Amino acid sequence: MTHTEYLWFNTKQRQEFVRITDEVRAIVQRSGVRDGMVLVSAMHITAAVYVNDWEDGLIHDFQEWLERLAPAGRPYRHHQTGEDNADAHLKRTLMGHQVMLPITNGDLDLGPWEQVFYAEFDGRRRKRVVVKVMGE
């Protein structure tokens, strides 16, 4: 059995981290799948989906780390095409674009501190994430 839904985002800032654990959990529960997996995948090349701790200091650390590795405003070759978001593409690659999560007894089977996040690196426009539940 499979079930697909989409989460839509239109962030107010260019870079934003959004906890989506509750939304993914609700989709899993609506699916009726009791045992399986759920794929959560950003459908834009400047956004990421990842799993980690929900702690403001850590999210700030991610933002600083990413900015050191892929700083905004550099003269990237990608910008020669008329774009200005090369850093967003690089940050997405570092964070990953999707996660696969286990479902047990009809619920997400996450570790004690694990949460699911949508990370936007070139926001202020409408984007989506696919949530595909698979199992029985």
Summarize pLDDT for 4-31 with one digit per residue, the tens.
999 999 999 999 999 999 999 999 999 9
Domain interval for residue 59: 2-71+97-135
Give the number of domains in the chain. Answer: 1
Residue 30 lies in a domain: yes
Residue 92 lies in a domain: no
Question: For residue range 42-83, what is the model confidence (pLDDT) as tens digits?
Answer: 999 999 999 999 999 999 999 999 999 999 999 999 999 999
Question: For residue range 123-134, what is the model confidence (pLDDT) as tens digits?
Answer: 999 999 999 999
Burial of 68 (0-12, 13-18, 19+ CB in 10 A): exposed
Residue 81 lies in a domain: no
Note the pLDDT of residue 18. 98
Residue 88 lies in a domain: no
Residue 8 lies in a domain: yes
Residue 49 lies in a domain: yes
CATH number of the domain within which 21 lies: 2.60.120.460
Over its C-alpha atoms, the chain yields an Rg (Å, rounded) of 16
